[in-house]
Amino acid sequence: PQSTIPFPLDPTRYWLLGQLEYYLSTQNMAQDFFLRQRMDARGWIPIPLIASFNRVKLFTHDTQLVRDVLALSQLVQVRGSMVRMGGWEQFVLPDAQPSTVEDQPLPLVYQP
């Protein structure tokens, strides 16, 4: 994995995180037209789609585990059953479907 996790991961989560971060990396996305076709206009991709990939299924058939591991990554955003890579803007195709994922406002920071 590219993310630094402040606690040890079991082998399944460790290898799964590495595979998921690869799928959502700029290196992979530059050549993965299939995945780019499934991005909506704001870069969101369904987690169940990624959970259905053969290499992911080698680690788990549990979509919730895939979501939980994606939530550990420092490279992606997770909202409900959707995930978005950092730098998604450069990979969205012109004919992408409109997004149904609402952006949540950033949390307010207390400033004295």
Predicted local distance difference test score (pLDDT) of residue 67: 95
DSSP string, 11-57: HHHHHHHHHHHHHTSHHHHTT-HHHHHT--TTS-EEHHHHHTSHHHH
Domain 11-86: give its CATH code: 1.10.10.10
pTM: 0.81
Predicted local distance difference test score (pLDDT) of residue 20: 96
Domain boundaries, the chain: 11-86
The tens digit of pLDDT for each residue in 45-92 reads 999 999 999 999 999 999 999 999 999 998 999 998 999 999 999 999
Predicted local distance difference test score (pLDDT) of residue 104: 57
